[in-house]
Each structure stands twice: as structure tokens, then as C-alpha cells.
């Protein structure tokens, strides 16, 4: 298996985090440096026409979208339980993956781009109204997580699943963005459990 990725990307980290948790090693990893526009080369676009990272190549399979790749990796080791133990858990995992891609991550992307990437690439000041709106929405979703985690250690069932790894990766830059995680005790405890994972430590950008 060959993984094309950008090390600073939470989406790429989502795949690497899943692989590390499962003990899956990629045969090859190639950095696609988006700061140099490498995601727009004809060679890369032939693999991923969206021009984003990550992309996984496994034999004849060329797979993009980080959550789909993570699910594919989890299917290789079903005994790890990341895909859920029954139909109810599998549906709940899918729900959290959809929530992450549809609600949480777009706002997190805005913050990462406006607050961190623009400064790193010297692209000018952040769009403050966009930043303010994104912080407001992320705080709202922190409350959703906090409420959902009440009395629970993990998002789905009694053990860690792909739902936890999926959502946790979106919070890769929690400290750098100064997100108010401390205001949400259940979410703070859950995120602490994620940060304590060896897989999390190994895949920190």
C-alpha cells in the first residue's frame, strides 16, 4: 500500500492515526506538498481528480477521502472492533463520520486556514468575520460532543471505534487554535483519552 499525504493535514492524519492504531504499516508514503502546489500536478490529479490529500493506492484500488480510507484500513483488521460490533454501532459510527465531514471539519478547516496556514505562508491577515463564525460553530459542536459523551468513555459503544479516531483527527490543532475544550468536561476527558493513545503520539504533525 502506498499513501500520498501532507503531514500537516488533519485529513491525512486521520488515515495515519487509524493505521497506527491498527498496527498497519504502509509500504510507501509520499508527501504531497500542497504549499508547492504538488496536489495540482497532472500525475497526482490522475490519482485524485479533486487535488486533495490523502490518497491510498493498494494494488488496483485507488481510494481518496480520508474517512473512506480509514474505513478500508479498519476492514483489514475487523478483530480490532473499529467498525462496530453490530448494525446499531455501525450506523452510529457512520453518523459520527457524516457529522464530522458535514459539520465539524468545515469549520475547523476555516480556522486552520485563516489562523494558522495564512500566517505560515504569509498570505495576509485572517478573515476575522469568518474566524468568528467558525469559532462560534466549533463551540456549538463541542457542546454536541460533550452532551453525547455524558456517562460514556467513547462516542459509540463501550470501546474505541472509528468514530473516535475520525472526530479526534479533526481536533489535531486544538491547542494551536486555543479551542475552549476545558469548558466541556466530558469532551475534555474523551480528548485526553485520544491524546494518550500511542497512535496519536506517533502521528502528531
Q: Residue 147 belongs to a domain with what CATH number?
A: 1.20.1050.10
Prediction pTM value: 0.95
Q: State whether 93 and 185 are in the same domain.
A: yes
On whether both 76 and 92 belong to a single domain, the answer is no
Q: Is the peptide bond before 34 cis (omega within 30 degrees of 0)?
A: no
Which residues form the domain of 28?
2-80
Q: Are 114 and 134 in contact (CB under 8 A)?
A: yes
156 and 61 share one domain: no
Inside any domain, residue 73: yes
Q: Do residues 190 and 92 both lie within one domain? A: yes
For residue 20, the domain's CATH number is 3.40.30.10
Q: Last residue of some domain: 58, 80, 102?
A: 80
Residue 205 lies in a domain: no
Structural domain contains residue 189: yes
Per the structure, the count of domains in the chain is 2
Distance of alpha carbon 179 from alpha carbon 135, whole angstroms: 8
Q: How far apart are CA 69 and CA 97, in angstroms?
A: 12
Question: How far apart, in whole angstroms, are the C-alpha atoms of residue 105 and residue 124?
Answer: 23
- In a domain? residue 24: yes
Check whether residue 12 and residue 103 sit in a common domain.
Answer: no
Under 8 Å between Cβ of 101 and 184: no
Residues 114 and 187 in one domain: yes
Cα(22)–Cα(31) distance, rounded to whole angstroms? 21
31: closest CA among 5, 55, 50, 9? Answer: 5
pLDDT in tens, the chain (205 residues): 999 999 999 999 999 999 999 999 999 999 999 989 999 999 999 999 999 999 999 999 999 999 999 999 999 999 999 999 999 999 999 999 999 999 999 999 999 999 999 998 889 999 999 999 999 999 999 999 999 999 999 999 899 999 999 999 999 999 999 999 999 999 999 999 999 999 999 999 8
Cα gap 67→97, rounded to integer Å:
7
Q: Are 174 and 120 in a shared domain?
A: yes
Q: Are residues 40 and 119 in the same domain?
A: no
Same domain, 115 and 172: yes
pLDDT at res. 22:
98
* H helices present in 24-86, as ranges: 42-47, 66-76
The answer on 94 and 53 residing in a single domain is: no
- 118 in the same domain as 58: no
Same domain? 117 vs 143: yes
Amino acid at each position: 500500500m502506498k499513501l500520498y499525504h501532507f503531514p500537516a493535514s488533519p485529513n491525512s492524519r486521520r488515515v495515519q492515526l487509524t493505521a497506527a492504531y491498527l498496527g498497519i504499516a504502509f509500504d510507501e508514503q509520499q508527501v504531497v506538498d500542497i504549499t508547492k502546489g504538488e496536489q495540482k500536478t497532472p500525475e497526482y490529479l490522475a490519482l485524485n481528480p479533486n487535488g486533495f490529500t490523502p490518497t491510498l493506492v493498494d494494488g488496483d484500488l485507488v481510494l481518496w477521502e480520508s474517512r473512506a480510507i480509514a474505513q478500508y484500513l479498519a476492514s483489514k483488521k475487523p478483530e480490532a472492533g473499529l467498525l462496530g460490533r453490530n448494525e446499531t454501532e455501525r450506523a452510529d459510527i457512520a453518523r459520527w463520520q457524516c457529522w464530522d465531514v458535514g459539520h465539524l471539519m468545515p469549520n475547523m478547516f476555516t480556522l486552520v486556514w485563516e489562523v494558522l496556514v495564512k500566517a505560515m505562508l504569509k498570505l495576509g491577515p485572517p478573515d476575522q468575520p469568518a474566524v468568528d463564525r467558525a469559532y462560534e460553530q466549533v463551540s456549538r459542536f463541542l457542546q454536541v460532543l460533550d452532551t453525547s459523551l455524558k456517562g460514556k468513555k467513547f462516542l459509540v459503544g463501550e470501546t474505541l471505534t472509528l468514530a473516535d479516531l475520525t472526530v479526534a483527527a479533526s481536533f489535531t490543532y486544538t491547542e494551536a487554535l486555543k479551542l475552549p475544550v476545558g469548558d466541556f468536561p466530558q469532551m475534555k476527558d474523551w480528548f485526553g483519552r485520544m491524546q494518550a493513545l500511542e497512535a496519536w503520539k506517533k502521528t502528531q504533525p
